A and B are shown apart, each in its own frame.
Chain A
Amino acid sequence: GENVEQHPSTLSVQEGDSAVIKCTYSDSASNYFPWYKQELGKRPQLIIDIRSNVGEKKDQRIAVTLNKTAKHFSLHITETQPEDSAVYFCAAPRGGGSNYKLTFGKGTLLTVNP
């Protein structure tokens, strides 16, 4: 099965700084990597995802990079704002293919200080 490791577990930055969260996965067949943001008491919401046929994807202040050889992918948030404060989860599908039974990392609590 898939094993997903996420670091750091907590991250505190000043408003306007960048934040980077890293994940590693074990299943070389994994081909889809989403990132979810979860605010306290709310549902996980997809913020960006990447497929294995590209190395980087960007959406405004958020970007994800993927290194398939090293089996790791990272979330980059630039110009952080207080509303970015939340728990962020990376995920990878178990067993590859198209089933997308996701294995999640343990999460990173991001705090953006005004």
Chain B
Amino acid sequence: DTGVSQNPRHKITKRGQNVTFRCDPISEHNRLYWYRQTLGQGPEFLTYFQNEAQLEKSRLLSDRFSAERPKGSFSTLEIQRTEQGDSAMYLCASSSGLAGQETQYFGPGTRLLVL
């Protein structure tokens, strides 16, 4: 499977715990995006990387959220001290970054439930 993959697919945690999600983009895609999607809403932009550089973070990304892409390939999103309001689907997407090839391909998402 050469598409975007995410792990785990589901995560249930207790409030206050830390969680980490992983995203593996399409090979050779240099742009990687994280979005959050809640029920009945469209995906909301959180942050994106060009290679290993994190170029922008949304105001939605509080200090409890951190994302990395250490070698410009896979990325991790960590949420510290989880809150019930963090419950959502976390989607990763990647694109080639080349002019005229803007399509963002989404992964299956990680569904987080904070109890």
Contacts and interface: CB of A to CB of B under 8 A. Distances in A.
B20 interface: no
Given A99-B56, A101-B33, A101-B56, A46 B105 contact: yes
B56 A106 contact: no
B108 A42 contact: yes
Contacts of B105: 46
Interface string B25-46: 0000001010000001111110
Contacts of A100: 31, 95, 102, 104
Contacts of A99: 48, 55-56
Contacts, number: 55
Nearest to B43: A104
A102 B104 contact: yes
For B42, B91, B95, B105, the residue with the greatest tally of chain A CB atoms inside 10 Å of its CB is B42
A106 B40 CA distance: 7
For A43, A49, A93, A98, the residue with the greatest tally of chain B CB atoms inside 10 Å of its CB is A43
A32 B43 contact: no
A89 B42 contact: yes
7 contacts: A32-B102, A34-B104, A91-B42, A98-B99, A99-B56, A102-B104, A105-B42
